[in-house]
Structure 1
């Protein structure tokens, strides 16, 4: 059975630019939470999608921000409003009940990843409109699923930012080590014999590039909607894998939520 619970939530669907602007000097909890429905690839390299919960939260207490993006959570420990940095913990989607020849390969369990991130925002007005944000995230699997590492660089632009509305777009690129690549895109000799797919042993390298658009609007003091559409495009050994050739290099992610701010 495919994982359609919160464990299947896609990571990083909404960029940090979606957070409501807040006064860091106010010690009361402020922020927003958003819940809805989205879609994500059935597995890495798949040409089909699965329904997933779409989750977003940004909660600021004093000078510390707690953020959630699906199964990825992080804490921003930087006091500087333009600098962000802190720990990250998250999960990576599993591969189960795949169709076709890929379904004859071993299943992959949900992976648990921990690491950190650092980001910086350039320019923009008091609410952040017109700003350019950059971020680097490094995650390592600690669950034994892949024991691999993934580094992701992101750049985003806040095209619109007001008290009640925002819109922006972002670009990203991910690099993965050999352990990660061989877990999600590799095919051993035994797996090739069992599935009929060609043996494939990928190495470390760039995994994907992607882009997305996020937007939101609050209709009242507390209620609004936040949505995102985007896609990643597999490159390098990830694209050359027989798993991807049987599926698709395009990996869509998106969703729509009902949001509450406080």
Structure 2
């Protein structure tokens, strides 16, 4: 289970659950299920594992979540803005998996471990019209800044919303600075000597496109089930990286949520 997809999937569930809450109440959401995706970005290995989360959304906009981090978000007319302290997981050069998901692969043996880092996550959204929102999110490392920064620009649309069912479709373009693409897709001369991969120095810019569909069915005010299916496609230098054994990766998840 890819950490990035797990974050997207469960954050989507938690945000949707919070959206159903009254403005004047605090909401605690527990979520659990199963998710699948590549072992790392560019891997040809797939892994399926458990996905668990705890999310506490306060009526004043503050939240604490195992998926979203600790932060604050607010709706200001058609605008949705917020900031959070989060964590970007490590990438190992070994097969490491557990409750938190896959964090590496033996295909990366000799590449060294990319350390996890605390990050500042800034996001903003604009509702163009009812059911259609433009979004932007920046992920800025606070520790291990050498891992680089990313920016996601996307659009989310509601395809169907009636009764207990809510279906959305989202498209995102992910961009990164040179430090990020070199960390996750580059191969230095020293790494090439250890691994046999060809030295590779990718450039900053667009590195990935993502498409995802979410269907949430609410049984009542407390219980819901969410199904997600997605596709991520590496582009430009990221797709040409020696580490990218497969540039297209399907992802999926099914999980159950309970709102207190």
Structure 2: tracts of 5 or more residues without a match: 95-104
Counterpart check, 1:22 vs 2:21: yes
Counterpart check, 1:109 vs 2:115: yes
Match in the other structure for 2:246: 248
Task: Give matches, 1:204-219, under 5 Å.
Answer: 204-219=204-219
Match in the other structure for 1:128: none
Structure 1 residues 198 and 7 mapped into 2: Cα distance closer, same or farther (>3 Å)? closer
TM-score by length of 1: 0.82
Match in the other structure for 1:141: 141
Structure 1 residues 137 and 8 mapped into 2: Cα distance closer, same or farther (>3 Å)? closer
Alignment partners' CA distance in 1, 2:5 and 2:210: 18
- With a CA cutoff of 8 Å and minimum separation of 6, indicate the structure with the bigger relative contact order: 1
Contact 1:108–1:145 (CA under 8 A) maintained in structure 2:
no
Structure 1: tracts of 5 or more residues without a match: 125-130
Contact 1:8–1:53 (CA under 8 A) maintained in structure 2:
no
Contact 1:8–1:52 (CA under 8 A) maintained in structure 2:
no
Q: Deviations over 1:224-251 (max 9, x none)?
A: 211211121000111111111xx11013
Counterpart check, 1:258 vs 2:249: no
Alignment partners' CA distance in 2, 1:234 and 1:220: 39
SS of the residue 1:239 aligns to:
helix
User: Out of 73, 77, 102, which is 1:77 matched to?
Assistant: 73
Contact 2:137–2:153 (CA under 8 A) maintained in structure 1:
yes
Alignment partners' CA distance in 1, 2:53 and 2:126: 21
Task: Give matches, 1:61-210, under 5 Å.
Answer: 61-64=58-61, 66=63, 68=65, 71-73=67-69, 75-80=71-76, 82-88=78-84, 89-97=86-94, 98-100=105-107, 102-124=108-130, 131-144=131-144, 146-162=146-162, 164-210=164-210
Contact 2:119–2:140 (CA under 8 A) maintained in structure 1:
yes
Alignment partners' CA distance in 2, 1:196 and 1:71: 36
Structure 1 residues 74 and 183 mapped into 2: Cα distance closer, same or farther (>3 Å)? same
Alignment partners' CA distance in 1, 2:46 and 2:53: 20
User: Out of 25, 44, 47, which is 1:47 matched to?
Assistant: 44
Contact 1:43–1:95 (CA under 8 A) maintained in structure 2:
no
